[in-house]
């Protein structure tokens, strides 16, 4: 048994963090461990009033932070990164407590999230805009990068640390100040990051967080939507919510980044290395129990290699260990709550009814029960089934077959989403050809785990717009000021 007790229990914060102060007075909501329903903490249930206070603090701090030297921004983010790294084990335990994922995955997420803080602490010093070759004598021309202003960030429960880090770090590096609302199921990971920001001596108002129960999410975010000083909204979550937020952002014309849902195809061609594809599928499907926007939602296999690949998947599933984060061998944890279990049960049930064959799993885990869903394999799935059109968000492999490259591309693109796609083949020409034809923002070729701070991440179509990570992640929080500087003679 692994203990999830923290060495620094003071990293468990239950208030809102506004203007450098922790506010704890007010109604609360419960944060529960999805593995057993136990209450991890009671957290302040913020509302529009606290959201406005957070925006006030951020707007005031912006007047100073916008002028801070790039080196100052860089150093501050570096101090935050150092503290996150120093307390990584505690942050991982806390994440497993509130989100349920195996500790090894929580550790990986903390390192992944910290990567964004480190990357943007470095990028903060390197983004100077452009000198434009002049088009007339007697003038010089420039495009200066400027911070947008106060940025609001709204994040989901599936990656509760990394989604905060990959939004707040570039915002702060760009010279913005931030207000944020973490997901109601997992606010503690975000609040612990705020505690470490405080320890890193962030100026008051630079980073503000307002937790809220499910019912209050809309009120908090709407207060920021209505606020003209909030110039940017960066959202990660479902497409359904993303659409509502885009609509609500229209009156104030906020700049938006929307990182939304996915329906990733995982294409295995007849010349693929099936062992490489299997290891990639393990990561792309079973990481976080399948609760990822990049999760392989539709496994498309060439019919000639179906039997060989299915046999491998069955062996993989037979060897997978499902369990709570306290189990050192657990590779798959619980789903986030009972509603998520019910959704997976419904999708799997419908697929079977419509003719899919159940090869493994297909129900709640026989020993663990509750929110633990057994790793599942369905073959004979078709594009018409709802399981092929909806984010499953569970450990379910839904396998379809195709006859040739053209059919694989047609099937892969037959979705309203366009976040991640995976492709497996040993033929480089084929890989390039197909990569070009895939209508997705991220393509993994012979790789199942592709997201990193050094590369741009984001979708097309109904998976949203905007990019996070890489040099492009910074521009989401900047505007360009074109300066035409004349009257300087020859
Ligand atoms: P969600 O849309 O229900 O919630 C996301 C966030 O929005 C939460 O903080 C929630 O409290 C808030 N919210 C919900 N309704 C709101 C409203 N009406 N007004 C304002 N805020 C509101 O999504 P979720 O269930 O928390 O997360 C899962 C979804 O996130 C999946 O669709 C997944 O694919 C997506 N996701 C996308 C990415 C990406 O980078 N593209 C990454 C992770 C998760």
The answer to whether residue 307 scores a pLDDT higher than 90 is: yes
Strand, coil or helix: what is 47? coil
Q: How confident is the model at residue 10 (pLDDT cuts 50, 70, 90)?
A: very high
Q: Which atom of ligand 1 approaches the CA of 214 most closely?
A: 11
* Residue 244 in contact with ligand 1 by CB distance below 6 A: yes
Nearest CA to ligand 1 atom 16: 218
Query: What pLDDT, in 10s, does the model give residues 22-71?
Result: 999 999 999 999 999 999 999 999 999 999 999 999 999 999 999 999 99
Gyration radius of the chain's alpha carbons: 23
Q: Is residue 431 a contact partner of residue 425, using CB atoms and an 8 Å limit?
A: yes
Q: How confident is the model at residue 95 (pLDDT cuts 50, 70, 90)?
A: very high
Spatial neighbors of 250 by CB under 8 A, at least 6 apart, are none
* Residue 190 in contact with ligand 1 by CB distance below 6 A: no
Q: Is residue 344 a contact partner of residue 397, using CB atoms and an 8 Å limit?
A: no
Q: Which atom of ligand 1 approaches the CA of 181 most closely?
A: 9
CA of 471 to the centre of ligand 1 (A): 25
Element of type H or E holding 474: helix 470-475
What was the pLDDT predicted at 312?
98
Q: How far apart are CA 323 and CA 331, in angstroms?
A: 7
* Residue 184 in contact with ligand 1 by CB distance below 6 A: yes
Nearest CA to ligand 1 atom 43: 293
What was the pLDDT predicted at 38?
98
16 DSSP β-pair partners: 23
CA of 373 to the centre of ligand 1 (A): 22
CA of 259 to the centre of ligand 1 (A): 9
* Residue 160 in contact with ligand 1 by CB distance below 6 A: no
468: DSSP letter: B
Overall average pLDDT of the 245-260 stretch: 98
478 DSSP β-pair partners: 147
CA of 241 to the centre of ligand 1 (A): 6
Q: Which two tokens stand for residue 405?
A: 């490259």
Query: What pLDDT, in 10s, does the model give residues 432-468?
Result: 999 999 999 999 999 999 999 999 999 999 999 999 9
* Residue 221 in contact with ligand 1 by CB distance below 6 A: yes
CA of 99 to the centre of ligand 1 (A): 15
Using most ligand atoms within 8 A of CB, pick from 238, 340, 456, 469 the residue to mutate for ligand 1: 238
Q: Which atom of ligand 1 approaches the CA of 241 most closely?
A: 2
* Residue 156 in contact with ligand 1 by CB distance below 6 A: yes
Strand, coil or helix: what is 161? coil
Q: Which two tokens stand for residue 31?
A: 């944060």
CA of 123 to the centre of ligand 1 (A): 27
Query: What pLDDT, in 10s, does the model give residues 147-202?
Result: 999 999 999 999 999 999 999 999 999 999 999 999 999 999 999 999 999 999 99
* Residue 158 in contact with ligand 1 by CB distance below 6 A: yes
Q: Which atom of ligand 1 approaches the CA of 242 most closely?
A: 2
CA of 410 to the centre of ligand 1 (A): 28
Q: How confident is the model at residue 380 (pLDDT cuts 50, 70, 90)?
A: very high
Length, in residues, of the chain: 490
Q: Is residue 151 a contact partner of residue 171, using CB atoms and an 8 Å limit?
A: yes
Q: Is residue 185 a contact partner of residue 337, using CB atoms and an 8 Å limit?
A: yes
CA of 61 to the centre of ligand 1 (A): 28
Q: How far apart are CA 27 and CA 349, in angstroms?
A: 40
Q: Which atom of ligand 1 approaches the CA of 220 most closely?
A: 20
Nearest CA to ligand 1 atom 19: 218
Q: For the sheet containing 478-485, what is the strand order?
A: 130-132, 140-147, 478-485
* Residue 243 in contact with ligand 1 by CB distance below 6 A: no
What was the pLDDT predicted at 220?
98
Q: How far apart are CA 478 and CA 199, in angstroms?
A: 27
* Residue 29 in contact with ligand 1 by CB distance below 6 A: no
Name the phi and psi angles at 456, rounded to 5: -75, 130
Q: Integer distance in angstroms from the first to the last C-alpha of the chain? A: 76
43 DSSP β-pair partners: 29
Which residue intervals of 148-289 are DSSP H helices? 162-174, 187-199, 217-226, 239-249, 274-286
What was the pLDDT predicted at 127?
86
Q: How far apart are CA 391 and CA 421, in angstroms?
A: 14
Average per-residue pLDDT for the chain: 98
Using most ligand atoms within 8 A of CB, pick from 241, 258, 260, 394 the residue to mutate for ligand 1: 241
Q: How confident is the model at residue 128 (pLDDT cuts 50, 70, 90)?
A: confident
Question: What is the pTM for the complete model shown?
Answer: 0.97
Q: How far apart are CA 53 and CA 366, in angstroms?
A: 48
Q: Is residue 129 a contact partner of residue 158, using CB atoms and an 8 Å limit?
A: no
Residue 377 backbone class (left: φ over 0; alpha: ψ -120 to 50; beta: rest): beta
Q: Is residue 180 a contact partner of residue 164, using CB atoms and an 8 Å limit?
A: yes
Nearest CA to ligand 1 atom 31: 238
The answer to whether residue 354 scores a pLDDT higher than 90 is: yes
What string of H, E and C letters represents the secondary structure of 362-378?
A: CCECCCCCCCCECCEEE
Q: Which two tokens stand for residue 40?
A: 């991890």
Query: What pLDDT, in 10s, does the model give residues 357-378?
Result: 999 999 999 999 999 999 999 9
Show the CA angle centred on residue 258, arms to residues 253 and 263, nearest 5°: 150
Q: Is residue 368 a contact partner of residue 327, using CB atoms and an 8 Å limit?
A: no
Pairing of strands 255-259, 230-236: parallel
Overall average pLDDT of the 466-490 stretch: 96
Q: Is residue 80 a contact partner of residue 116, using CB atoms and an 8 Å limit?
A: no
Q: How far apart are CA 238 and CA 260, in angstroms?
A: 5
CA of 400 to the centre of ligand 1 (A): 28
User: Which residues are tagged catalytic?
Assistant: 259, 293
Q: How far apart are CA 448 and CA 464, in angstroms?
A: 21
Q: Is residue 276 a contact partner of residue 424, using CB atoms and an 8 Å limit?
A: yes
* Residue 147 in contact with ligand 1 by CB distance below 6 A: no
Q: How confident is the model at residue 244 (pLDDT cuts 50, 70, 90)?
A: very high
What was the pLDDT predicted at 490?
79
Spatial neighbors of 450 by CB under 8 A, at least 6 apart, are 294, 420, 442, 444
* Residue 469 in contact with ligand 1 by CB distance below 6 A: no
* Residue 236 in contact with ligand 1 by CB distance below 6 A: yes
Nearest CA-CA partner of 468 in 457, 454, 479, 452: 457
Show the CA angle centred on residue 151, arms to residues 150 and 156, nearest 5°: 150
CA of 355 to the centre of ligand 1 (A): 32
Q: How far apart are CA 188 and CA 184, in angstroms?
A: 9
The answer to whether residue 310 scores a pLDDT higher than 90 is: yes
* Residue 155 in contact with ligand 1 by CB distance below 6 A: yes
Nearest CA-CA partner of 183 in 98, 125, 299: 98
Which residue intervals of 124-186 are DSSP H helices? 162-174
* Residue 340 in contact with ligand 1 by CB distance below 6 A: no
Q: Which two tokens stand for residue 335?
A: 């789903």
% of the chain exceeding 90 in pLDDT: 99
């Amino acid at each position: 048994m692994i203990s999830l007790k923290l060495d620094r229990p003071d990293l468990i914060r239950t208030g809102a963090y506004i203007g450098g102060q922790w506010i704890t007075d007010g109604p609360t909501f419960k944060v529960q461990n999805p593995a057993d329903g136990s209450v991890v903490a009671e957290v302040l249930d913020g509302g529009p009033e606290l959201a406005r206070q957070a925006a006030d603090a951020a707007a005031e701090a912006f007047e100073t932070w916008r002028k801070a030297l790039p080196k100052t921004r860089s150093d501050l983010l570096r101090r935050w990164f150092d503290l996150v790294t120093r307390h990584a084990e505690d942050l991982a335990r806390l994440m497993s407590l509130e989100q349920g994922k195996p500790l090894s995955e929580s550790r990986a997420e903390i390192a992944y999230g910290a990567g964004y803080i480190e990357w943007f602490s470095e990028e903060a010093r390197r983004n100077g805009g452009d000198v434009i070759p002049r088009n007339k004598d007697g003038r010089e021309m420039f495009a200066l990068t400027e911070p947008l202003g106060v940025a609001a960030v709204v994040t989901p429960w599936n990656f509760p640390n990394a989604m905060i880090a990959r939004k707040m770090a570039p915002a702060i590096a760009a010279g913005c100040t931030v207000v944020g609302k973490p997901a109601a199921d997992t606010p503690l990971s975000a609040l612990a990051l705020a505690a470490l920001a405080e320890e890193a001596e962030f100026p008051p108002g630079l980073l503000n967080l307002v937790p809220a129960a499910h019912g209050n999410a809309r009120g908090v975010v709407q207060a920021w939507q209505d606020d003209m000083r909030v110039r940017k909204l960066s959202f990660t979550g479902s497409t359904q919510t993303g659409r509502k937020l885009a609509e609500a952002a229209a009156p104030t014309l906020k700049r938006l980044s929307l990182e939304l849902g996915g329906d990733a195809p995982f294409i295995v061609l007849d010349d693929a290395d099936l062992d490489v594809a299997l290891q990639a599928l393990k990561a792309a499907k079973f990481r976080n129990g399948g609760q990822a926007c990049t999760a392989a939602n539709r496994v498309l296999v060439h019919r000639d290699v179906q039997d060989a690949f299915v046999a491998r998947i069955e062996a993989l599933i037979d060897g997978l260990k499902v369990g709570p984060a306290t189990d050192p061998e657990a590779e798959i944890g619980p789903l986030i709550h009972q509603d998520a279990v019910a959704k997976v049960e419904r999708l799997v049930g419908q697929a079977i009814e419509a003719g899919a064959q159940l090869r493994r799993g297909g129900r709640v885990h026989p020993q663990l029960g509750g929110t633990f869903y057994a790793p599942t394999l369905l073959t004979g799935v078709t594009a018409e089934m709802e399981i092929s059109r909806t984010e499953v968000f569970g450990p379910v492999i839904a396998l379809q077959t195709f006859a040739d490259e053209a059919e694989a591309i047609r099937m892969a693109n037959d979705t309203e989403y366009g976040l991640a796609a995976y492709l497996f083949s040993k033929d480089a020409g084929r890989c390039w050809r197909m990569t070009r034809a895939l209508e997705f923002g991220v393509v993994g070729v012979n790789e199942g785990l592709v997201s990193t701070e050094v590369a741009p991440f984001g979708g097309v179509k109904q998976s949203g717009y905007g990019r996070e990570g890489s040099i492009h992640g910074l521009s989401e929080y900047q505007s360009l000021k074109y300066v035409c500087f004349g009257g300087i003679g020859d």
